[in-house]
A and B are shown apart, each in its own frame.
Chain A
Amino acid sequence: MSCHVPVPVLEPVVAGPPDGITAKGPIRTVVLVGPPNCGKSTLFNRLTGLRQKVANYPGVTVEHHSGRMKGIGRGDLTVIDLPGIYSLATYSEDARVAVDVLTGRMPGVPAPDVVLLVLDAVHMNRQLMLAQTVFSLGLPTMVLLNMSDLLEVRGGKIDPLALSHELGHPVALISSSKGTGMELISSYLNQFGSEATERPQPLRLPVLQSPAASRKWATQVTDRVNYHAPAAPVWTRRMDAVLLHRMWGPLIFLAVVVTVFQVVFSIGQPLSDGMGKVLIDLGARVAQVLPDNWIRALVRDGLWNGVQSVLVFLPQILLLFLFIGILEDSGYLARAALIADRAMSAIGLNGKAFIPLLSAYACAVPAIMATRTIENKRERLATILVAPFMTCSARLPVYTLIIAAFVPDRHMLGNLIGLRASVMLGLYLLGFLAALATARLLKSSVLKAKHSPFILELPQYRWPTVRSLALRLYDRGMLFLKKAGTIILSVTFLVWVFSVLPVHGGQFSVLTDSFIGRLGHWVEPVIRPLGFNWKIGIGLMSSIVAREVIVGTLGTLYGVDPATHSLGLQAALRHDMGLGGAIALVVFFAFAMQCTSTLAIVRRETNSWKLPAIQFLYMTGAAYIAALVTNQVITHLM
């Protein structure tokens, strides 16, 4: 990787001549345009102080995002970040978004007044192909040559002044990851006034040039300005020789996956247990201050028991996201796609489906949005349908809770992998296989599609920066806490209320006579064959909101129940459930569609309720059958 070499201080230049637009009228909206993976979102985050997701592979941004340019003291200006485009041809959904915003045709988004064209300085010949069409929009445009630090380090050269004369637009060398050259952007923007003005009509679409013609033009320009492309990234090649090696490649891939799970248990579990002790202790202290009546019962047995049983999973969630962050930022993800492509093509899935599917390991919602990069409609639908089978991070609390409660902490294969980690690995594999089987089914029936090719750009390896990893973890942690403080808190509150009502003669109901107890007993016959008791049934119903809610609900129910009141949640579950039911429960979660956010995003992306409804019924049906089989097999064997 080339970033650990000391970086020479750059002398960034804003070069004249000014961009031929003589009247420096007032501006309001600035738009970032450029090819995929050239660093637009990293620049956007610099300019705004916001945190859009960035990673080292093409196609991270699939939507337009806007923010105020507070990062460089121009809060009066709005900057819009766009998905990467190669040209103004709109072959995929994300490219359509970019072109619509750029040409002022996107409803609800102001037409841009100024364009910042971001190009990767390391690959100028290719990147410049986009420039001519962008210039022909007729907007004031500044060309930003990003990753100029990498260019220098690797011995490349570019003369921004000459390039600027050649292009007729100002050119600046910047590095959005290091933050150099930002003052050049602000001094360019400061030439314009800032009062609001009337925008002219939407821009005419420029004539699309053939790629061959724009390529020829780009090469002529770079030749005339004495551009030296940097030497080949030696490090990337050396690493690929190992990471894509016939034998080592797959082995390393496997080792990476196993390590993730092993660490989630061997480091994550003790952290999570420790956090649980602290939280329970904290709850007990707070409860002592409260009056000894229904208030104390509500706060301690209801709310705190529920919320803290979810909160304890914070360390494990953060560890998982640390790994995902390292894989995404380093550039390894694209290699993983290459290794797995053979398997994907055997099933008939597009190679481009791999990256959305991988990101579904964090959460299905961004994964479903990431399918916008798949050009073929049917392939895109197939990927949307299977993505929720991938094990998202919301399943992690359920899996770790059940595994820690029911699976003994034993080592297998010497000390290589723990039994708990391998059960977890098995659950991830199960979800993956369900996704593949479903894809196979779809592709051979309703969603037959013409084959579209696999074209994958391999980004150079880069060191993930501590800053970017820390920000990701912070954002993830806050998201998790926010969910615990809103959705999970309100569900556990409702569960508690209905677990003590109705009031008989001034007394709360006992759990089994309460509203929730009666509801639970009413549904119990349906789930009994799966080895679930009525409390699990209530948990399953509440988890339709979001998967991890079940943990909060169970925390509350077992906290209210006098028989399990003093036990921890793990012990309470062991007290109340057999091994068959427990394993059936995690299998149920591997398949079931319990996530209102996913259903909502599928509706939005496909513009109909039909698909999410089918998805819900199919996944929940599969979950029921799989859990039934699991429970019956285990109880008959044991």
Chain B
Amino acid sequence: MLVLSEARVGQSGVVERIDLAEEISNHLAHLGFLPGANIEVLRRAPAGDPTVYRIDGVEVGLRNETAKFIVIEESKR
């Protein structure tokens, strides 16, 4: 178990749960952020934040302040 904001670039895993207010988690859910989805940390923006994640074939940028409420199960390499 790992908080998404702490995952390294290149690491991938499966979304475990999302601890955000309903309207935010609903918005994220429509972009593919749902328990069970595969997620990969693609790259960080030049300033180190936000980070680009690849989820479900789509690339989404999230600030760390949001990503720290998403818990993933890291996959073994």
List chain A positions with a Cβ less than 8 A from chain B: 35, 86-87, 89, 91, 122-123, 125-126, 129, 211-212, 215, 229-230, 232, 236-237, 240-241, 244-247, 249-250, 334, 337-339, 341-343, 345, 351, 375, 451-458
A341 & B59 in contact (Cβ 8 Å cutoff): no
A451 & B65 in contact (Cβ 8 Å cutoff): yes
Distance (whole angstroms) from the CB of B77 to the closest CB of chain A: 19
Known: A240-B52, A338-B52, A339-B47. A454 touches B60 (CB 8 A): no
Q: Can you list 7 A-B pairs, Cβ within 8 angstroms, ordered by A?
A: A91-B23, A126-B31, A245-B46, A337-B61, A342-B48, A342-B49, A456-B61
Proximity bits, B33-59, A CB within 8 Å = 1, else 0: 011000000111111111010101111
Known: A341-B49, A455-B28. A126 touches B56 (CB 8 A): yes
A375 & B30 in contact (Cβ 8 Å cutoff): no
Q: List the A residue with the shortest CB-CB distance to B20.
A: A453
Known: A125-B56, A453-B65. A246 touches B34 (CB 8 A): no
Chain B residues near A244 (CB-CB < 8 A): 43, 45-46, 52
Chain A residues near B49 (CB-CB < 8 A): 341-342, 345
Q: List the B residue with the shortest CB-CB distance to A251.
A: B46
Known: A91-B27, A244-B52. A453 touches B46 (CB 8 A): no
Partner of A455, one of B27, B42, B56, B57: B27
Distance (whole angstroms) from the CB of B11 to the closest CB of chain A: 16
B60 & A211 in contact (Cβ 8 Å cutoff): no
Chain A residues near B7 (CB-CB < 8 A): none
A126 & B30 in contact (Cβ 8 Å cutoff): yes
B75 lies within 8 A of chain A by Cβ: no
Chain B residues near A345 (CB-CB < 8 A): 49, 63
Cβ-Cβ contact count across A and B, 8 Å cutoff: 115
B1 lies within 8 A of chain A by Cβ: no
Chain B residues near A453 (CB-CB < 8 A): 20, 24, 62-63, 65-66
Known: A129-B30, A241-B43, A246-B46. A455 touches B52 (CB 8 A): no
Distance (whole angstroms) from the CB of A180 to the closest CB of chain B: 23
**Complex: how many Å from CA A7 to CA B54?**
26
Known: A86-B30, A126-B32, A211-B34. A342 touches B23 (CB 8 A): no
Known: A342-B45, A453-B62, A453-B65. A458 touches B23 (CB 8 A): no
Partner of A341, one of B23, B50, B60: B50
> Besides the contacts A126-B57, A244-B43, A456-B62, what 14 more A-B pairs have beta carbons closer than 8 Å?
A86-B30, A123-B57, A129-B30, A211-B29, A236-B59, A237-B42, A240-B42, A334-B61, A342-B45, A454-B61, A454-B62, A455-B24, A455-B27, A455-B61
Distance (whole angstroms) from the CB of A78 to the closest CB of chain B: 29
A342 & B35 in contact (Cβ 8 Å cutoff): no
**Complex: how many Å from CA A525 to CA B47?**
49
Chain B interface, DSSP helix/strand/loop, else mixed: mixed
Distance (whole angstroms) from the CB of B55 to the closest CB of chain A: 9
Distance (whole angstroms) from the CB of A348 to the closest CB of chain B: 12
List chain B positions with a Cβ less than 8 A from chain A: 20, 23-24, 26-32, 34-35, 42-50, 52, 54, 56-63, 65-66
Chain B residues near A245 (CB-CB < 8 A): 46
Distance (whole angstroms) from the CB of B36 to the closest CB of chain A: 9
Chain A residues near B63 (CB-CB < 8 A): 341, 345, 351, 453-454
Known: A91-B23, A456-B61. A215 touches B34 (CB 8 A): yes
Chain B residues near A215 (CB-CB < 8 A): 29, 32, 34
Distance (whole angstroms) from the CB of B66 to the closest CB of chain A: 4
Distance (whole angstroms) from the CB of B9 to the closest CB of chain A: 11
Distance (whole angstroms) from the CB of B70 to the closest CB of chain A: 11
Chain B residues near A125 (CB-CB < 8 A): 32, 56-57
Chain A residues near B57 (CB-CB < 8 A): 122-123, 125-126, 229-230, 232
Known: A211-B29, A212-B35, A458-B52. A341 touches B58 (CB 8 A): no
**Complex: how many Å from CA A452 to CA B50?**
14
A455 & B62 in contact (Cβ 8 Å cutoff): yes
Chain A residues near B48 (CB-CB < 8 A): 342
A89 & B26 in contact (Cβ 8 Å cutoff): yes
Known: A244-B46, A457-B60. A212 touches B29 (CB 8 A): yes
Chain A residues near B31 (CB-CB < 8 A): 86, 126, 455, 457
A338 & B50 in contact (Cβ 8 Å cutoff): yes
Partner of A87, one of B26, B47, B54: B26
* Across the A-B interface, the 7 shortest Cβ-Cβ residue pairs: A211-B29, A86-B30, A342-B47, A456-B61, A458-B59, A453-B66, A249-B46
Chain B residues near A122 (CB-CB < 8 A): 57
Chain B residues near A457 (CB-CB < 8 A): 31, 58-61
Chain A residues near B56 (CB-CB < 8 A): 123, 125-126
